[in-house]
């Protein structure tokens, strides 16, 4: 299977591609409306054909949008994580415009070569391209592309604020009507957070949380997780049942997060004089998922599984362990060829429930112990 990180990159790049495809298609339609029955461009005298122009504009927009999206999500977007939104948009638009102008020139070579039925470097094609670049029509296209860039960047930022999957679910109305689905939830909480906040102060503590959440991003992506909520020093991560159970992704997520933080131990010690450790509680079950709200819309999950996962996480301190899962989840996880063992603990009695839940912790086999600090 393709790595979940690259699957996410492709999905986000395709969103850019669709935005650009739309702008390319609209440009082709507007161009036809302006030129009417004319079969040439007045400013350059180049031959014009509606279907050819529409195809090139749409296809070129899609390709450029995908390249734009891939560069944005895999590289450039990470360079401006600490910049205000307007700074991100302005700097990125200028950066991309340079390359898009070059792309537009190359696209013009291709279009005119096709229209004149001559090779790319023929005098006729070179002259037509030169006339187009020196015309108002060319720079009007550049302005149109700049506007498209701004729209694509705003879509991208909106997607990052909501979460990629959440944005797409809103866009296509997946949960406009509530649905029942099986999900796994992990409640991940920082150990001794109240004491740490008092020692560091509110501003420094907030920077600590930002650093932790940033370092958790890759492990969550690698294990196909989705961040449902940030609640102070607690992160709620969720998986559809199939993705969370595949290769024990949900459990692997916790250990990958721990390893990612461990690699930054010296940085945390230097910046905060403290190394954060986390505890996690897991549960699996049915939830109702749907859009809610009028002034502010959200996609939320409702069901006992969330309360139960939160309660399980709260029991970690009592048992002196970093991870506790419900027996319902343990029964469905893959147990063959794994580097850890499931160890049954006591039963948890939930308020208002007759049935008890058996808690299960996980012990890593000798030789497979990641460098995880004890709580």
- The DSSP string of 218-266 is HHHHHTT-EEEEEETTEEEEEEEHHHHHGGGHHHHHHHHHHHHHHHTHH
- Lowest-confidence range among 159-163, 184-188, 241-245, 279-283? 159-163
Predicted confidence band of residue 373 (pLDDT cuts 50, 70, 90): very low
**CA–CA distance, 9 with 164 (Å, rounded to integer):** 10
User: For residues 31 and 189, what is the distance between their CA atoms, to the nearest angstrom?
Assistant: 56
Q: Strand 323-326 relative to strand 278-292: parallel, antiparallel, unpaired?
A: parallel
Tell me the Ramachandran region of residue 12: left when phi exceeds 0, alpha when psi lies from -120 to 50, beta otherwise. alpha
Say if strands 278-292 and 234-240 run parallel, antiparallel, or are unpaired.
Answer: unpaired
Quick check: 69 pLDDT over 80?
A: yes
pLDDT the model gives residue 371: 41
What is the reported pLDDT for 267? 94
Least confident of 10-24, 79-93, 281-295: 79-93
- Work out the average pLDDT over 8-21: 84
- pLDDT at 374 (0 to 100): 33
Kindly tell me the sign of the dihedral angle through the C-alpha atoms of 71, 75, 77, 79: negative
Q: Average pLDDT in the 43-62 region?
A: 83
Integer angstrom CA distances of residue 375 from 200, 201, 279, 308, 358 = 19, 22, 8, 22, 22
**pLDDT over threshold 50, residue 372:** no
Given a contact cutoff of 8 angstroms between Cβ atoms, the answer to whether 284 and 182 are in contact is yes
pLDDT at 146: 81
Q: How confident is the model at residue 126 (pLDDT cuts 50, 70, 90)?
A: confident
DSSP 3-state assignment of 354? coil
Q: Is the pLDDT of residue 242 over 90?
A: yes
pLDDT digits (tens, 9 = 90+) for 133-148: 888 877 887 888 788 7
Res 375 pLDDT > 50: no
- Give the mean model confidence (pLDDT) for residues 5-11: 80
Give the model's pLDDT for residue 160: 67
Mean pLDDT of all residues in 338-342: 76
Q: Tell whether the torsion through CA atoms of 50, 31, 109 and 14 is positive or negative.
A: negative
Q: What is the mean pLDDT of residues 93-104?
A: 80
Cβ partners under 8 Å of residue 262, min gap 6? 370, 371, 372, 373
Residue 327 predicted with pLDDT over 70: yes
| 356-364 and 323-326 beta bridge pairing | antiparallel
> How much is the pLDDT for 53?
87
Going from the N-terminus, what domains does the chain have, and what CATH number goes with each?
Answer: 4-162 (no CATH), 168-364 (3.30.70.1230)
| 187: pLDDT strictly greater than 50 | yes
pLDDT at residue 79, rounded to an integer: 73
Burial state string for 243-265 with b = 16 or more CB within 10 A and e = fewer than 16 = bbbbebbbbbbbbbbbebbbebe
The residue that leads in pLDDT, 163 or 152, is 152
HEC per residue, 179-216:
EEEEEEEEEEEECCHHHHHHHHCHHHHHHHHHHHHHHH
Q: Are 113 and 53 in contact (CB under 8 A)?
A: no
β pairing state of 278-292 and 179-190: antiparallel
Say what the pTM is. Answer: 0.71
Q: For residue 57, is pLDDT > 50?
A: yes
Report how far residue 103's alpha carbon sits from residue 82's, in angstroms, rounded to the nearest whole number.
Answer: 30
Helices (H), 47-135: 50-74, 85-116, 123-133
Average pLDDT of the segment spanning 39-47: 75
pLDDT, the chain, mean: 84
The span from the CA of 229 to the CA of 226, in Å, is 9
Contact 292, 300 (CB under 8 A): yes
CB atoms within 10 A of CB 225: 26
Could you say which DSSP state residue 279 is in? E
DSSP string for residues in 9-48: HHHHHHHHHHHHHHHHHHHHHHHHHHHTT-SB-TTT--B-
313 pLDDT above the threshold of 80: yes
Give the pLDDT band of residue 52 (cuts 50, 70, 90). Answer: confident
The C-alpha atoms of residue 324 and residue 330 are separated, in whole angstroms, by 10
Does residue 165 have a pLDDT over 70?
Answer: no
Is the pLDDT reported for residue 221 higher than 90? Answer: no
Q: If you average pLDDT over residues 271-279, what whole number do you get? A: 92
pLDDT at position 286, please?
A: 96
Nearest CA to 26 among 124, 141, 137? 141
């Amino acid at each position: 299977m393709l790595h979940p990180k690259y699957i996410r990159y492709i999905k986000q790049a395709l969103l850019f591609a669709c935005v650009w495809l739309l702008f390319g298609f609209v440009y082709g339609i507007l161009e036809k409306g302006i030129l009417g029955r004319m079969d040439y461009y007045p400013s350059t005298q180049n031959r014009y054909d509606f279907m050819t122009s529409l195809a090139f504009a749409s296809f070129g927009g899609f390709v450029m949008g995908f390249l734009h999206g891939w560069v944005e999500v895999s590289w450039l977007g990470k360079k401006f994580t600490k910049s205000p939104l307007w700074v991100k948009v302005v700097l990125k638009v200028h950066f991309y415009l340079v390359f898009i102008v070059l792309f537009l020139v190359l696209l013009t070579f291709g279009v005119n070569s096709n229209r004149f039925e001559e090779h790319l470097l023929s005098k006729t094609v070179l002259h037509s391209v030169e006339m187009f670049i020196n015309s108002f029509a060319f720079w009007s296209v550049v302005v149109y592309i700049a506007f498209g860039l701004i729209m694509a960047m705003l879509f991208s930022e909106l997607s990052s604020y909501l979460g990629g999957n959440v944005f797409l679910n809103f866009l296509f109305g997946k949960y406009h009507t509530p649905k029942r689905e099986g999900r796994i939830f992990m409640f991940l909480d920082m150990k001794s957070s109240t004491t740490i906040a008092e020692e560091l102060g509110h501003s420094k503590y907030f920077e600590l949380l930002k650093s932790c959440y940033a370092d958790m991003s890759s492990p969550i992506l690698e294990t196909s997780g989705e961040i449902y909520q940030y609640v102070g020093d607690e992160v709620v991560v969720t998986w559809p049942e199939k993705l969370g159970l595949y290769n024990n992704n949900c459990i692997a997520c916790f250990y990958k997060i721990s390893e990612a933080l461990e690699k930054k131990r010296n940085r945390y010690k230097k910046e905060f004089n403290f190394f954060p450790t986390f505890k996690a509680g897991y549960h699996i079950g049915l939830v109702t998922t749907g859009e809610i709200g009028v002034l502010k819309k959200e996609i939320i999950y409702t069901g006992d599984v969330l309360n139960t996962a939160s309660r399980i996480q709260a029991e970690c301190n009592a048992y002196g362990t970093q991870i506790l899962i419900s027996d319902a989840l343990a029964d469905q996880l893959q147990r063959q060829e794994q580097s850890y063992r499931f160890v049954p603990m006591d039963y948890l009695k939930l308020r208002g429930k007759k049935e008890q839940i058996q808690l299960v912790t996980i012990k890593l086999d000798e030789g497979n112990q990641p460098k995880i600090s004890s709580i």
